[in-house]
Amino acid sequence: MSKLDQIIASNARTARRKSGFLSQRARIMLLTLTTLLVLFVFFTQPPVRSAIEALIG
């Protein structure tokens, strides 16, 4: 195998291994944190809180 073939083979392995900017675990964590943030902002709004209190109590 020539030096060029070795370089091409190693680059192909690296490209397959790197499947994107974030790994699967990082994507799930980012989605979870974003969802929690949206829920926190949504449920801390006064009209939403009063509507939930009316349903519960």
Q: What is the DSSP string of 11-40?
A: HHHHHHH--SSS-HHHHHHHHHHHHHHHHH
Tokens 């091409």 appear where? 8
Q: How many domains does the chain have?
A: 1
Q: What is residue 43's predicted lDDT score, i.e. its pLDDT?
A: 87
Q: Confirm if 22 and 30 have CB atoms less than 8 A apart.
A: yes
49 in any annotated domain? yes
27 in any annotated domain? yes
52 in any annotated domain? yes
Q: What is residue 6's predicted lDDT score, i.e. its pLDDT?
A: 81
**pTM of the full predicted structure?**
0.52
47 in any annotated domain? yes
Q: Provide block-wise average pLDDT over 10 residues at a time, the chain (57 residues).
A: 81 61 89 95 89 87
Cα angle value 12/21/8 (rounded, 5°)? 10
